[in-house]
Amino acid sequence: MNTENAKRIKDVLIAILIIVGVLAILPAIFIAIVTILSALIAGFSFANIALVEMMSYWSINVWTSLFYLGLLIAEIGLLIIIVPLLVWAAKWLIKAVKWVISAIKKRLGGSNKQ
């Protein structure tokens, strides 16, 4: 085996390892994003239930009802902040995977066309 073939085999093995690594990391990141979104939706549902409960507590204890109202406002604020961050993270992840694939293609001597 000459050095050119050895280098080519090494490059292919490195590319395979990178692809396997990316494929192993992507589901974990996707599950993390879905978990965060699910937690926010569950919290938002709790805040809506708390808002309904607030109506019954309003005459009993004003401070409890204001606490529930504060939970609802905080949850809406978290949704406004975190949902765009999740969208940005998903777009960045797609760009990163495209970059890794194009770098592997370039290293293995593929065309640079998209």
For residue 110, CA distances in Å to 16, 45, 48, 96 come to 15, 50, 54, 19
Q: Is 109 left (phi over 0), alpha (psi -120 to 50) or beta?
A: left
pLDDT at 57: 64
pLDDT at 111 over 60: no
Q: pLDDT for 1-54, tens place per residue? A: 577 777 777 777 877 888 888 778 878 888 888 888 788 777 777 777 777 776
Domain ranges of the chain: 3-107
pLDDT at 104 over 70: yes
pLDDT at 114: 52
Contact between 86 and 37 (Cβ < 8 Å): yes
For residue 32, CA distances in Å to 62, 84, 89, 95, 104 come to 38, 15, 11, 18, 27
Which has the minimum average pLDDT: 40-49, 52-61, 70-79? 52-61
pLDDT at 69: 77
